[in-house]
Structure 1
């Protein structure tokens, strides 16, 4: 019989081995694009072959921009997070075989530097409880690898960018974090070594091979990636768009900054926890770190969206039998006020007859259903959009009340 310890080690080995074997081409570079999301976006774009320009105001990992570019369209996408802007620019860029060969050569040079100890490691990123993410041996390797990449490839070049994508894959593949549910968890978080041998250099080399496998898939369309706030799009984006396909943050208190922080710290997009909290406060739906304390003093602006449905929801949450009810009601109110500000930007950016698709899920707080899709529909209708529909796409989990929708509308 196999001992329980050996079975657990075999299970962990299998989980480790297959952790990042999913995803195709550039979509799978960081395994951040769910297959169902990719399919929805591809189908929506395919159903609008005459769309001249496509807009995604909430870039995320660049799925809409990349899909549009692959199907030959011109697209513009924006995000407030500089890491996501860098990632999407890297994913939608054009690469030659020469660049791929140079990246392969730089990978070998980097690993040789580590083997020969001819590179000085970078400082340990100030990630809170970093030992939960990586044990000491792995941390040592990652610090050397990050430094070696900068020495093997000139920063801010295509080769350097491709190696950094592979580095990001390696970060998570060597981590003790699990992403099999909405909130990440950690295994073996006592800082000890993994329960089976790991060739860390081979993991990075395999990640480079995976990334370079998507390099020949150069998109035929053009993608413009802009660092911008979705609430002030007109400041950074101009022209008219025929199609909008996007998935904004959900009203579920999930911090995308928190989920992305390992990449952002190691690549220098975050320097400390305050930076993370500031960026999360600026983002729609953010409540991490200082964002929570600032929410306590936040007040609704004069021009906030007025809706009986929303008022009833806020009152129900605020009066729930929970000491945090009032704070969570503020969170929900700010989310929809921010989205209203965003929606008010759209009319100036849309061509007559333009169609918009907002992929979003509803939420619950203390048993109160927040029908996000219905509130989006109200906002779009109030701005003069027509043919507004809320099309259910899928159940989000075992809770039958939680559903993902495509909120569809047409501009005048």
Structure 2
């Protein structure tokens, strides 16, 4: 049934306003996702003006548009980034690569609608959030845990925490995703009572304030959230948290003890290590011991691994633009300094040199030899090396790596580093 007079439609003004910043292309795609529900055919960009599309969506497709906007708000509230979500769709949902070139959450959500995957939204959120934090918060439990009768053990945990242990902070754990080897959980934990001040008329459900409103307090019990993924691998288990463990230590300790039979889990977790990071570190230390150039040794090792990483990226089911961008970022990786802390062998509590070393050594007489001498004399257990990616510093030591400085690495730099340091 054709829509001949869109300007005469009665529409929901709130939804109409909410659609106002959206590009015409987004509105056309949203209409086409639902057009058959009102007996219309898919349209092109020239069928209606942007304003007419807003009116149609806010009237003839009101419920569908409201649901779409609610789904978008969920993505925004969960701070879902498009890159890890796209990787999930490419690897686990077999979405064609040429459809994955999305640059916003609106485009991501429309892709889910168009591919009939919107019912997988909660799984996508969980998997993409875990993917984003895998490198920086992933740790290894040196044993393989059991997933048998998981629902029953979750019930036992809820019973024990919320009743038997007399906890003042109730907890809820939901299973968001599960396979034979991977389980992802979302945890809700109460943070304790707070007593903000409010106007009394709000408590009395009055819409109009009095001339001089009274002030009172209310008691609220806020809930915080955490995501956890456990993945069984050969004789070990990877554990990933999406937020720091601070404030979660007691709950997670009891969770692992009751659900997986792992007592005092945080004392058993080990840092994820990278063979690539360890190799670069060893090459530099060995070069100094032999009187060779540590920078040349590191550069050679980094160049070889960069070539392998670029080949790995080329094989990934990602849009061409994303693959090219990741390859460009990998090619910016270079050794850039050293970070030494609390080393009595060189009488220093901290020494840090982070720069484009070749340029720096060429401008300061004696600095290069001093740097080599420092590496040679420093206690290897007190020393870390620093590389840069896109001019952002990353420290690596004992096969582990982490960003230096304020703020997080951009997500594409983070992903490029994951690929670079992954020797698998």
TM-score (norm 2): 0.26
Structure index of larger Rg: 2
Q: Larger relative CO (CA 8 A, sep 6+): 1 or 2?
A: 1
TM-score (norm 1): 0.27
More strand by share: 2
